[in-house]
């Protein structure tokens, strides 16, 4: 495996070397970096032109400039990168650091959401093949996949930001809207669950009644602007959510009959509630985000220990279920804090969903109010990128799952009397993930490049802005910084995909 990894890295670096030289050359041919100064009427035009020629080394051939840039990249192995300066004299390393953080914050979140939602929807449509749910998801998948990014972004700005901000100022939902939303939720739930007509009616009716009741209570009590805050509502949310996740994950991975796995996952949820109450002051006002990351890492370790100690003969399954339960529980903790500080945030920011920028200029608030501000700025572009990626992931997962379900070993597993849950989760799902892993590896690097349009529409100063500025100013240095990040991401994700193949199919290791 080590030899294979080193060989892949070597080949990838050679490809990046050739591609970087070609890209550098093409950028230098794309225009005249002195065009704006040639058209200037300033008296010191000649001085300005000479200064730019000296800054950008325009008096030497392009391959000499490329060699200087390549030597600066080589210094990165000694942790002293020198990627040059822009034509305005700004250090590109600093620009790239800020831009990469902004873009990765957008791309990582949208990729994770797209993987979870797309794979789950793809499996459900494969199980419910040729059902109404399958046809509806197919229609939506092709619709989202075909959406022009700039047009969908305009729609999101209009309905997801402007109209929502108008509504949240005095939130009220009409009875007709509540009934229609409830019926839509009931139809969706019964399509996902499936089964006999009686089961569909009970599921759809129960889901519709729950949605209608919840929306009516929320609208009557002003929950959308002032959700109930405090220890009791937050603890109730965490306890119910943690227990539900523990039961669901146990049912999917090992079945509820495996008491050891169920006990480990439930213990993880209960320990999480107790730990959250004990550390409430630290979570409410952490001195730095690294504190929360440290608590998250510690919590993941505790979950793995619980699964190992209580799992018995199902130790691996218990550790997996406990870890997933802990991860979902951590997300619920963040959600409870958003709910708790939502009212105070609206008092500071009357129109919470922004149509432009990655953060509100000059915004001052508590740690969680600032987190909500950055999260609301992230909402619209994340939804846009997620919808586009979910469309492809769901189709690929459905196709791969249907292919695996027709294999002989799946028929053999069913003929032995194994439950459908065991057949799907243990035999079909794992092998169906192998082609999805390849797609995810390429898609992550592609999203960084594809986010250029999204960042432009939503006014984000990320890698897309860096690339656009460099190309417009015929300055290859910022463009090469963009290439360096996207190329490195492609190499890294493909290496991770190769490693994941070995875990998904042990035969690949040999």
DSSP of 47-107, one letter per residue? HHHHHHHHHHTTTS-HHHHHHHHHHHHHGGGGT-----B-TTS-BHHHHHHHHHHHHHHHH
pLDDT tens for residues 238-254?
Answer: 888 889 989 988 888 88
Q: What are the backbone dihedrals phi and psi of residue 328, each rounded to the nearest 5 degrees, phi first?
A: -65, -40
Which range in 157-166, 426-435, 438-447, 497-506 is most confidently predicted, on average pLDDT?
157-166
pLDDT tens track for 332-368:
998 888 888 898 898 888 888 888 877 777 788 788 8
For the residues of 119-169, what is the DSSP string, one character each? HHHHHHHHHTTTSHHHHHHHHHHHHHHH--HHHHHHHIIIIIIIHHHHHHT
- Does pLDDT of 234 surpass 80? no
Q: What is the mean pLDDT of the chain?
A: 84
Beta-bridge partner residues of 85: 91
Query: Does 132 have pLDDT greater than 80?
Result: no
Whether the predicted pLDDT of 275 surpasses 60: yes
Q: Is the pLDDT of residue 510 over 60?
A: no
pLDDT at 450: 62
The pLDDT value recorded for residue 416 is 85
Q: What pLDDT was estimated at residue 307?
A: 92
> For position 414, what pLDDT does the model report?
85
Interval 4-11 mean pLDDT: 75
Average pLDDT over residues 432-450: 75
Six-digit token string for 214: 């919840």
- At residue 264 the predicted structure's pLDDT band, cuts being 50, 70 and 90, is very high
Q: What pLDDT is attached to residue 499?
A: 73
Give the number of other Cβ atoms within 10 Å of residue 32's Cβ. Answer: 10
- Could you report how far apart the first and last alpha carbons of the chain are, in Å? 9
Query: Has residue 267 got a pLDDT over 90?
Result: yes
| Cα–Cα distance, 115 to 375 (Å, whole number) | 20
List, for residues 59-80, the tens digit of each pLDDT value.
888 888 888 888 888 887 777 7
- In contact, 463 and 482? CB cutoff 8 Å: yes
Domain segments of the chain as ranges: 129-389
Residue 91's pLDDT band (cuts 50, 70, 90):
confident
């Amino acid at each position: 495996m080590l030899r294979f990894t080193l060989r892949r890295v070597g080949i990838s670096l050679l490809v990046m070397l050739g591609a970087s030289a070609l890209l550098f050359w093409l950028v230098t041919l794309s225009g005249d970096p002195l065009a704006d100064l040639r058209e200037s009427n300033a008296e010191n035009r000649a001085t300005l032109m000479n200064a730019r020629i000296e800054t950008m080394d325009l008096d030497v051939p392009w391959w000499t400039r490329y060699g200087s840039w390549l030597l600066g990249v080589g210094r990165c192995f000694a942790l002293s990168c020198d990627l040059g300066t822009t034509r305005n004299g700004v250090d590109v390393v600093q620009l790239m650091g800020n831009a990469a953080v902004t873009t990765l914050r957008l791309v990582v979140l949208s990729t994770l959401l797209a993987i979870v939602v797309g794979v789950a929807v793809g499996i459900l449509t494969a199980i419910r093949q040729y059902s109404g749910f399958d046809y509806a998801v197919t229609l939506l998948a092709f619709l989202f996949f075909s959406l022009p990014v700039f047009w969908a972004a305009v729609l999101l700005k209009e309905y997801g930001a402007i109209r929502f901000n108008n509504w949240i100022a005095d939130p009220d939902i009409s009875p007709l809207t509540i009934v229609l939303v409830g019926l839509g939720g009931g139809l969706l739930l019964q399509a996902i669950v499936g089964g006999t007509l009686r089961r569909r009616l009970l599921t759809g009716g129960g889901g519709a009644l729950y949605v209608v009741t919840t929306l009516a209570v929320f609208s009557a009590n002003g929950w959308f602007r002032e959700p109930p805050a405090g220890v009791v509502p937050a603890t109730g949310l965490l306890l119910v959510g943690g227990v539900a996740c523990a039961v669901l994950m146990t049912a999917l991975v090992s079945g509820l009959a495996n008491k050891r796995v169920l006990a480990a996952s439930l213990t993880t949820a209960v320990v999480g509630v107790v730990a959250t109450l004990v550390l409430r002051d630290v979570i409410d006002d952490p001195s730095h985000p690294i504190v929360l990351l440290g608590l998250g890492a510690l919590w993941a370790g505790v979950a793995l220990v619980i699964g190992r100690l209580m799992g018995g003969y199902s130790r691996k399954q218990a550790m997996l279920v406990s870890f997933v339960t802990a991860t979902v529980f951590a997300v619920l903790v963040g959600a409870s804090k958003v709910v708790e500080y939502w009212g105070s945030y609206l008092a500071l920011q009357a129109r919470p969903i922004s149509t432009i920028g990655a953060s509100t200029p000059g915004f001052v608030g508590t740690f969680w109010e600032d987190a909500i501000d950055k999260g609301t700025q992230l909402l619209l572009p994340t939804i846009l990128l997620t919808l586009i990626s979910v469309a492809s992931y769901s189709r690929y997962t459905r196709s791969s799952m249907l292919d695996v379900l027709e294999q002989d070993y799946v028929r053999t597993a069913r003929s032995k009397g194994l439950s459908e849950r065991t057949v799907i989760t243990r035999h079909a799902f794992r092998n169906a993930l192998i082609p999805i892993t390849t797609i995810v590896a390429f898609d992550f690097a592609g999203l960084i490049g594809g986010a250029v349009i999204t960042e432009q529409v939503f006014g984000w100063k990320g890698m897309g802005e860096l690339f656009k500025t460099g190309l417009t100013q015929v300055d290859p240095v910022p463009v090469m910084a963009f290439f360096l990040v996207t190329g490195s991401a492609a190499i890294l994700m493909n290496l991770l995909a190769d490693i994941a193949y070995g875990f998904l199919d042990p035969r690949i290791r040999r």
